Structures are given as C-alpha cells and as structure tokens.
Structure 1
Amino acid sequence: MFYWLYTQMAAEGHVPFLNLLKYLTFRTGMALFTAQLVVILMGSRFIRWMQAKQGKGQPIRADGIERHIVEKAGTPTMGGVMILAGLIVGTLLWADLSNIYVWVVLFVTASYGVLGFTDDYAKVTKQTTAGVSSRVRLVLELAVALAAVAVLILYGARTAESPDLNTSLAFPIFKHFLLDLGWLYLLFGALVIVGAANAVNFTDGLDGLATVPVMIAAAAFGLIAYLVGNYLFANYLQLHFVPGVGEVAVFCGAIIGAGLGFLWYNAPPAKIFMGDTGSLALGGALGAVAVATKHEIVLAIVGGLFVLETLSVMIQVASFKLTGRRVFRMAPIHHHFEKLGWSESTVVIRFWIVAVMLALLGLATLKLR
C-alpha cells in the first residue's frame, strides 16, 4: 500500500520523504518491524481469548515425552493466527502489490494457514491429536500448490537469456545449466511447496524449535530473493536473473518480524503453540519463495533441519512396518534426543545452531559458481 503512495506522490515530487519507499531494503526492514509489532500487540489478548475458548488447550500425544503431558497440558494452540496476522499486514503495507510473486506467496501462506486452522480446530474440539484426515489435507495442500505453481509458470517474468526459466530447474554450483522440465515442473514445484509445509509441521514439536529455524531460512531466502531479483547482483554472482522476484524479500522480512513477535510468547515455557495453523503456513511460505526464486534445491540445504526431521519420521515408519523395529526411540528426531536425556532447551538451542550452519552453507552455494 505504501509503495503505491510512492508511485502516486513521490514520483511527482510532492512528498520527497516518500522516496525512501523506492528502496527495497527499507521496505523489507519496515515490514519486519510492522509484523513484529502487530504480533506483540495482539499477543496477550489473543492468548487470553484462546485460553477461554479452548479450555483444555492442545491435546498432547499420550505416547510422547511424559513431562510434556504434565507441563504443556492446557496450553492453547492456533498461535499461527498471530503469525499470519503480522505477516500479512506487514507484507500488504510495504510490498509492491502489483507484483505477481507477492500475491502467489501470500496465497500459498494464507491457504495453508486456513488448512492448518481447520486441523487445529478439529483437534481442540474433539480433544484428540488426530485432526483432519491426512489424505484430505494432503490433497488440498497439493491443489493449492499446483494452482500457485501454474500461475508462476504462466505469468512469471521471463528473460531473453532464459525464456524457459519458469519451467526449468536450476542447480547450485553450476553456472548456466538449466534443466527444462516443461509442464512436469508444475508437479515438481508443487511437491516442493507441500514437502516444505509438512517438514516444518514435523519440526514444530518443542517451544521455539520451529520458529527460529523458519526465521533463519526466511532471512537466507530474503537475501537470495534480493540478489536474484537484481540484474547487477545476479549477473555478478552468475545467478539466474528473475525480474520482479526481489519484492519477495519484503515478504521474507515480514516472516522474520512475525516470528520474532511470536517468539516473545512462544519462548519456553510457551504461553501458546503455533499449531498447524502456523507451521503449515510458514512451511508453505518457504516452499513458495524457493519456487519463485528458482532455488528449490538450495531450500533443501538451507532448510536441512526440516529435511532431517521429515526423514526421521519416514525412516521410523518404514522400519517399523518392514521389520517391526524402531530406528529412533521416538520420531520426529527432536523427541529421540529428549528420550536420550537431553533437556528441551538443549535440543532447541542445538537445533538452532544446526539451522544457522545449514543456512550459511546454502548461501555459500551462491558464490560457488
């Protein structure tokens, strides 16, 4: 909205101060600040309202960590509503709303937030850890992702150097190599988004565990979006230039701000959980940003912690079905370390450190070309 004011007034010289709005870095910083402020201001009242509405709060797995059943019982969920409020307000106020990439990532984020909210609502009202059918949820997630990727393929920006960029897969390290998947990219991109959403959902199991790695990944992809969307930087680093995608950096700034605001209330001991409302939305957001910036493979590196959590669940399920034995004491893997005797804070902080290392590794691929 404010960028529209700049185009209408500052360009004509009426309000020179509005010239600040032409700078992407300024608007990204303001989106971060705005999102954080919105979440913090609504936090206490929203939490009290959720406590009154939810009563017993989020159901805790009966086969989970024993102390969680006692310590976390009664804690309300659906805190993702706070995150979405801050993220959406921050983006709408400071991003260029004529940019197709902004609307695509917002569409995925909001849609997945609604799906997650429906799942959380079912769990709370039925007081069970089983919400909406996983099959139904997966079909809906895939439908949203397919629609988003289709829009990017049809209406995403193209360049003379890479006319097939919208349907191509770029590889880190390799300078100019692109693998044109044609319309198969529609399915590939959708799987990236769905996979990212569910990977963050698996990670959200301890206070603050998913929030900070999401912010770290958002910071990394905010930088990637800024560089890829700038012709000079993209050319210098020998990245594939994607015109207009730099505006997604504002969205990434809003993710960081909303995460910081939520962490104020989610820090141990958590006053509220983000629930599937937050985890699905944030994961879907990261997946959509990766597809928009043409850095899908880099997402697997930057978000390697989420990949590890997902693999631990897949390995556990496969092993138990095939051999009747479990590889981990409990999956996802963060619970495995708790079973080994690590305190919750130790698991969370060490996973944060791993997330930082993986993000730096992912960013290093930008120069190794």
Structure 2
Amino acid sequence: MRQILFSAMIALAVSITLTPLLIKVFAQRRMGQEIRVEGPASHQAKRGTPTMGGIAIVVGMWAGYLGSHLVGLRYDAPGVSASGLLVLGLATALGVVGFLDDFIKLRKRRNLGLTAKGKYVGQIAAAVVFGVLALRFPDSTGLTPASRSVSIVRDVGWMLPVAVFVLAVCFWVVAWSNAVNFTDGLDGLLGGSMSLALGAYVIITFWQYSNACATKPAVGCYAVRDPLDLALVCAAGGAACVGFLWWNAAPAKIFMGDTGSMALGGLLAGLSITTRTELLVAVVGALFVIEAVSVLLQIVVFRTSGRRLFRMAPVHHHFELSKWAETTVIIRFWLLGGIAAAVGLGWFYSEYLAAVG
C-alpha cells in the first residue's frame, strides 16, 4: 500500500509541475491547437491554446512507477515487473503515435494530422508487439502477463489460438485508444473521467494482489501476474491525470492532444488485458464506450438515411449544441464516469462474493 501512495504522489508532483513548463514552451513557439470549423462556436476562442500536454501525463506515469520502485528498495519491495513495463510500454507507444499526429497538425496548421491509415498502422504495430510479448515472461508459477483465455472479471476458460489472441488484442487496443480519444473534446473531460476509471482499477488490482492465488490459494483467488505492480501503474496514471487536470480544467490553459488521449486509451486496454478484465473494463469505462458508440451510430445513420442522429458527434458536442454550458456537460459526464466506475467495482466485488460463497 505504501508503494501505491508513493507512485501516486510522485506522478502527481511531476505532472502538476511539468505541465506549466510545457505551457510556457509551447506558447513561446506558438504551438497551439487548431479547432474544427464545424464544432460549437464557443470553441473557436480556444484556437491557439497549447497542446501536446499529454507529454506531462506520460512522463508523470513513468516517474511515479519508477520512483515508487526506487523508494520501495528501502522496504525490500519487489522490483519492476514484465506486466507493468508492458502496459506502460503500450501506453507510451500509442502516445508516440498521438504525438506524431499532434506534431503534423501543428506543423501544417490544420486540424488533421496523421491519416486514418497512418494511425491504424501505428496502433496495430504497438498492439502486435504487446500481444506477442504479453504471452511470454512466465513467473515462477507459469503465469504470463496476459492469458489466451476469454476474460470477463477473470478467465472463463475459453482458450484462443495465439494468432486469434493477437488479433483480438489489436482490435481491443485500436477500439480503446479511439474511444478514449473521442472523449477528449472538452476542457478537463478526459482527465477527470480517466482518473475515476484508473482509481477504480487501483482498487481492483490491489484486491487481486490481496487475494492472489500465488500467495493465498483459496476459492475465489485471482490468477494474475504482478497485480501489485499493476496497481502502481494505475495509481501513477490516475495521479498524472489529476496533476494535468489542474491546468486543463475549464478554461483550459493546455490540451493533452492525441499524445495524451491515445496513451491513456492504450493504458486502459493494456490494464484490462493484464488484469484479466477485458469485458469488465467496458463497464468501468462505460463513458468512453458511449462516446465511441455515438460516433459509430452517427456514421451508420447518416450513411443509411442521410440524416444525423446527433447534432454532432461525439455525443458531448450534441449536448453543447443543445445549449448546455460546457462546464455543465463536463461535470455531468464526470458523474456518469464516476457511476460507471462504481458499478464496475460493484460487479467485480459481487463476482468475488459469488465465487467464495
């Protein structure tokens, strides 16, 4: 528990102090966000706001994770794990893809960076490397960071062939990185909602550690490799989001850009795979699912009927165009994110009670 707190505190300190430095550097270099012309009129005033603040989140995550391990040396705590490094590696790789997207936007002074094909190539390449490596590095009990079994709250026993597993990982990583990316459209919306989801995963991973089959074999125990180390990753990621949110809350002084949103999407995807909660994450992160589904429905309805289901997608823009104040949309979506995280935790715990009862 001490290491988890250190991870959060270090990540928070790094993120909240690095972000204003990025604001100053990017403002001096006039590296400001371009705004969609068809978006809400109120957003045009945000043109030129520094972006790529996700760099602070990624650096904060790594600092919190590695820093907590350095502190943990005093208490003979376990060192870094394959699971933790793989999840952070996936998040960082997707952050690099997002950085390239942001950089192209800034360089060419437009709201379009990488092409869709370019993004998919980057996302899939990162997912393939993660999927292949996640089936390696068995621990003393034979557990690898990921499992080829289908998982809901834990493995259910339906084993996938390796090739199918890697394809499933590619789909999962692309889906979650884009779902989280869609949510990043209002000041502080993604930072606040992601900190709630990662906070839920701190509890989930710590509970898995407290009831791990490797140390406490019993009915209802969890066969997860490195759950405590994954808790450090969750704590660092959530705290880094909170530190960034200090500067990103409305009116935002900086945006995280695709650098941050794609990294956070990869983080959530990687955590769900390594904790064996691939389907549970759809409940914990239900807000991101709603945002992605709203975009999908908008496209399908428009192509089939020529009409728009929403005034604008993702759905948070629909409410803005329905005359909701931006802060009202943000706070209500945070509430939805908090409710989703609580429901996910409730489902996780009820499954444990059912397993032991």
Whole-angstrom CA distance in 2 between matches of 1:48 and 1:163: 43
Amino acid across the alignment from 2:152: F
Task: Please name the residue that 2:167 is paired with.
Answer: 187
SS in 1 for 2:334: helix
Other-structure match for 1:123: 105
Please point out which of 114, 119, 142 is paired with 1:137. 119
| Alpha-carbon distance in structure 2 between the residues aligned to 1:224 and 1:333 | 29
Is the CA contact 2:84–2:229 (under 8 Å) kept in the aligned structure 1? yes
Q: Give TM-score, length-normalised by structure 1.
A: 0.87
Aligned to 1:29: 5
CA contact (8 A) 1:86 1:254 kept: yes
Give SS of 2:224's match. Answer: coil
For the structure 1 residues 165 and 122, does the alpha-carbon distance in structure 2 shift closer, same or farther, using more than 3 Å as the test?
Answer: closer
- Determine which of 165, 173, 184 is the counterpart of 1:204: 184
Q: CA deviation at 1:36?
A: 1.0
Pairwise CA RMSD of aligned residues? 2.1
Q: Is the contact made by 2:136 and 2:144 (CA closer than 8 Å) also made in structure 1?
A: no
Question: Where does structure 1 differ by over 4 angstroms across 4 or more consecutive aligned residues?
Answer: 156-160, 162-165, 232-237
Structure 2 residue matching 1:350: 3-state secondary structure: helix
Quote the offset at 1:182 in angstroms.
Answer: 2.5
Kept after mapping to 2: 8 A contact 1:80/1:275: yes
Deviation per residue, 1:176-226 (Å, 9 max, x gap): 732211212222123222211111100000001011111111111122222
1:166 aligns with one of 147, 156, 160? 147
Report the counterpart of residue 224 of structure 1 in structure 2: 204
Matches within 5 A, 1:48-59: 48-55=24-31, 57-59=32-34
Normalization by structure 2: what TM-score? 0.90
The within-5 A match list for 1:1-369 is: 25-55=1-31, 57-70=32-45, 72-95=46-69, 96-157=78-139, 159=141, 166-172=147-153, 177-183=156-162, 184-231=164-211, 238-369=220-351
- State the Cα distance separating 1:236 from its structure 2 match: 6.4
Is the CA contact (8 Å cut-off) linking 1:231 and 1:241 kept in structure 2? no
Q: What is the distance in 1 between the residues matched to 2:231 and 2:327?
A: 31
What is the CA deviation profile of residues 31-85 of structure 1, one whole-angstrom value per residue up to 9, with x for unaligned ones? 1111111122222222011111135x10000000001112x11201000011111
SS of 1:178's equivalent in the other structure is: strand
CA distance in 1, matches of 2:139, 2:317: 43
Structure 1 residues not aligned, in runs of 5+: 1-24
User: For structure 1, which segment, 40-49 or 285-294, has the greater mean C-alpha deviation from structure 2 after superposition?
Assistant: 40-49
**How far did 1:239 drift?**
4.9
SS of the equivalent of 2:222 reads coil
CA contact under 8 A between 2:82 and 2:145: conserved in structure 1? no
CA distance in 2, matches of 1:155, 1:164: 7
Between the aligned partners of 2:138 and 2:339, the Cα distance in structure 1 is 32
Seen in structure 2, the aligned counterparts of structure 1 residues 194 and 66 have a Cα distance that, compared at 3 Å, is: same
Give the % identical residues.
Answer: 35
Q: Which moved more, 1:290-299 or 1:84-93?
A: 84-93
- Cα deviation 1:262-299 (Å, max 9, x = unaligned): 01100110000000000000110011011000101011
1:241 aligns to what SS in structure 2? Answer: coil
